[in-house]
A and B are shown apart, each in its own frame.
Chain A
Amino acid sequence: MSKETQDRPNASAVPSSASAPPSGEKADAEAKAVADEKPAADEKPAADEKPAADEKPADGKPAAATPAQEKSAEEAKPAAAAKPAPSAGTKPAAAAAARPAPAKKAPPPPDPRVEAAKAVAEQIRDVIAASLGQEAVEEVGAAHHTPMVRVRRESWVETVDLLKRHDDWKLNYLELMAGTDYPNYIEVVVYIQSTALGHFVCLKTRTPRENAEIPSLVSVHPGVNWEEREIYDLLGVTFTGHPDLRRIMMWDGFEGHPLRKDYNVWAAKEDTDGTD
């Protein structure tokens, strides 16, 4: 276990492995295991800033946000690099004891790409709120580097349709639809691309696990027909208004929804025993 935690920071430090940060990061990791995505974020901005900008050419925000973030990241780095010269990789415990405060302070520099994504998500929130009301949007954030907006399921179809037709967004090319079973709800997510404007956005909605039901998107994006059937089949979400909601992967007589976390393979086997 301890070995793994030691391995990890090294891996995230690959980009600039020659510099000193490892020990600082090690302290970091020991202080808080969750924080270990931050060191990676530190080293990103310079190298990978371009793709993020490419993805959203239409709005000025990301470009504006980046330099500021970059500077703060750069300020943080020399501070970390200056200190832990002598016992670089050998004694992480000492390093951790020596400067627990800076290690705690280091995490804040957020990834500029995440910040840019959040800014875009907020713009989308405003667009949705303007025509469907404030209460339509439940959460705004970023799914990794992609803007993410979660809407309530009553507004699901209207939202997707609105963003498809909206002149500033034109999200016309739905690339991915996926469902995930969480302990208290099932979440359906779509990743939609605007082929004209270059936006790439993640939209979500949730349904309770019992009587899971979400309005179907087939009327807006006919291409989700089979994806919705698959989610119905494997996760047990009923898509209301779907033209042809049947099982697609499993056979018609199959019981249960295999991708649900509480699906028990062995229980199902005993029930159908040999009938397959």
Chain B
Amino acid sequence: MTGVEEGTASLHALGQDGVLLRFSLRVDTQATAAVQFVARALGDMSPAGVVDVVPALSSVLVRFDPARVTRDDIARHLRDLAALAPRQGKDLNAARRIWHIPAALGGAAGPDLAEAAAMAGLGPDAAIRQLAETPLRVLAIGFAPGQPYLGLLPDIWDIPRQTALTPRVEAGALVVALRQIVLFANPSPTGWRQIGLTAFRPFQPAADDPVPLRAGDEIRLSLATTDEIAALVRDGDPKGGARLEVTP
């Protein structure tokens, strides 16, 4: 359970109570589809002794209670599911939940947009158009509570992180790197480039559903002005004008 292989699924012990199933070491839509398949299947099965299932972009972690099950039990479950995953989840299935989230891109709301667009070989206006037109999927929730990794953007957006850290971006900031967008839950330093701002708060601790986004949800950015986003922030609604469309 310790080897690192490229291209095939591999199982790894993580600490005393974790098993990681890895489909790839890279960002890869097929791997994400397989991860979401496995995480959903484990959610449906809820096997005894499973404490947490943590889907990331290309790997999924299962935490277990060693007093109830063994590492080998968990590995066996994961091996079985991994064998089913590639056939059943080659691409991300059509999303059942689509979020429309107002976002200001570029200008004061996205100080690094022009630079990021240039690295992608686009002018600022073309970049904004492409970002708004690309249907994004929630690839994973993590790093900070509720915080989504969104993607994947077209290949030209495979731009590296900055060499220096931006000391602080605000909650709601949209930052880009490696064909992904992250929507920050809290003010944070970041090595990614800020391209926009939303009034949406992906972590709402006092709400019935503190983390409204789910891995697999589709996100569409609806263009708004910096002033409109500022007004939504002032309203104080953590949804920030977002609308959820659920298809049966």
Bound together: no
Which residues in B have some Cβ–Cβ distance to A below 8 Å? Answer: none
Seen from chain A, the residues whose Cβ lies within 8 Å of a Cβ on chain B are none
